[in-house]
Amino acid sequence: EDEQNEAKIPSLQYTDCWNYTLPRDAEVFHLHIPKVAGCSTVHDLGEIIGRENLWSNEICYSTSKMAHFNNTVVMIRRPRDHVFSMYQHCYSGGGPGYYAALRAMNAAPGQENFTLPDTFGKWIENWVTKPHFGFYGVYEDEFHCYFPFNMQCSRLTCLHPNERRAEPDAAGAIKHMMSASLVGVTEAYHESMCLFSAKLLGTLPSHCDCTNPEAWAAFEATDEDHGVKYEDTVEAQSQAVLKGVDSLTEADRLLYNATVVRFIKDIKDVESTFGVKVLCADQEASLKEQMAV
């Protein structure tokens, strides 16, 4: 228990994930979609351009219009893994801010008002059969958890992050993704940081040569998991559960596929410019395989 409590103490890195101000002019606007490696991206992108030159928050893409930004950055994640990560975060009460808020509501894991279904499958079934749309935040949710219904499309098209719309706008989300200066993919995180460095600084770090194992291994990616540890995978779930997840993320899968296509093209442009292989064949093949699910 002491170790669990210790894990809930906010670290500087954790509290530095977001800008707790209204949008201000900055070099880069980063759309922090929950559970899409947001805090890790803020840290590593901050290492590239300087944290003071980056504005990030868990808001909507439309917020980027509220100040002047020279560049907009969006990260997208494979929908099945994204939804699975949401549940694991809520199941463990991960993250000091989230955990503290749940405790104040007597709704943290083990407390009386903790209502999250005890399995991922039950949570998905509830959302498939009794979706709760509307306008509310995570703490007003029936299970005090995230909105798994095409969240990535939602954050790219909303005017307020509390919007829980029943009709996702995949076309609008893809349009905004394509309008962003830079897009990255969680499943190719290392390559994404190389792309960002190349486009924002005009330089390609030595760790971006995927044909050089020693140089490639020198990159130390941030892995901010907010203390949430799990070994289970979404692919280990039953076909019925996976079908439910896919039904909740139809629009997000269209967005993900379009993002991967753009990402691969952008990487190849960088490779052509610098004469360095950044996205090796096995990783490119893996990304294309994941587009189907």
Domain interval for residue 43: 2-290
- pLDDT tens digits, 241-290: 999 999 999 999 999 999 999 999 999 999 999 999 999 999 999 999 99
Q: What residue type is 94 in one-letter code?
A: G
The partner residues of 183 in beta bridges, in order of sequence, read: 74
Residue 80 has, within 13 A of its CA and on its CB side, a CA count of 20
Strand-pair partners of 182 = 73
> Which residue has tokens 């990159």?
219
DSSP state of 11: P
For position 22, what pLDDT does the model report? Answer: 87
Question: How far apart are the C-alpha atoms of 173 and 156, rounded to whole Å?
Answer: 5
Contact 151, 256 (CB under 8 A): no
Residue with tokens 């949401």: 86
Residue 113 in 3-state DSSP? coil
CA distance 23 to 86: 26
The CATH number assigned to the domain holding 66 equals 3.40.50
What's the pLDDT score for residue 5? 41
Q: Which two tokens stand for residue 205?
A: 């770090």
Please report where in the chains the tokens 């950044």 appear, as a residue.
278
Distance linking the first and last C-alpha atoms of the chain: 38
Would the CA dihedral through 259, 264, 270, 272 be positive or negative?
negative
Cβ pair 180, 280 in contact under 8 A: no
d(CA 200, CA 204): 10
DSSP string for residues in 174-188: HHHHHHSSEEEEGGG
Locate 86 and state its tokens: 């949401």
Whether the Cβ atoms of residue 34 and residue 74 lie closer than 8 Å to each other: no
The 10 Å CB-count burial string (b at 16+, else e) for 243-278 is: ebbeebbebbbbbbbbbbebbbebbeebbeebebeb
Give the phi and the psi of residue 27 in degrees, each rounded to 5. Answer: -65, -45
Token pair, residue 118, equals 């005890």
pLDDT of residue 79: 98
The structure's pTM equals 0.92
**Gap between the Cα atoms of 184 and 190, Å rounded:** 9
Calculate helix-pair angle for 189-201, 250-274, nearest 10 degrees: 50
SS3 category, 26: strand
Residue 293's pLDDT is 66
* pLDDT tens per residue across all 293 residues of the chain: 433 443 334 444 456 788 988 899 999 999 999 999 999 999 999 999 999 999 999 999 999 999 999 999 999 999 999 999 999 999 987 777 788 899 999 998 999 999 999 999 999 999 999 999 999 999 999 999 999 999 999 999 999 999 999 999 999 999 999 999 999 999 999 999 999 999 999 999 999 999 999 999 999 888 655 455 556 899 999 999 999 999 999 999 999 999 999 999 999 999 999 999 999 999 999 999 998 76
Give the chain's domain count.
1
Let me know the angle formed at the C-alpha of 283 by 35 and 249, rounded to the nearest 5 degrees: 35
Are 136 and 236 contacting, i.e. CB atoms less than 8 angstroms apart?
Answer: no
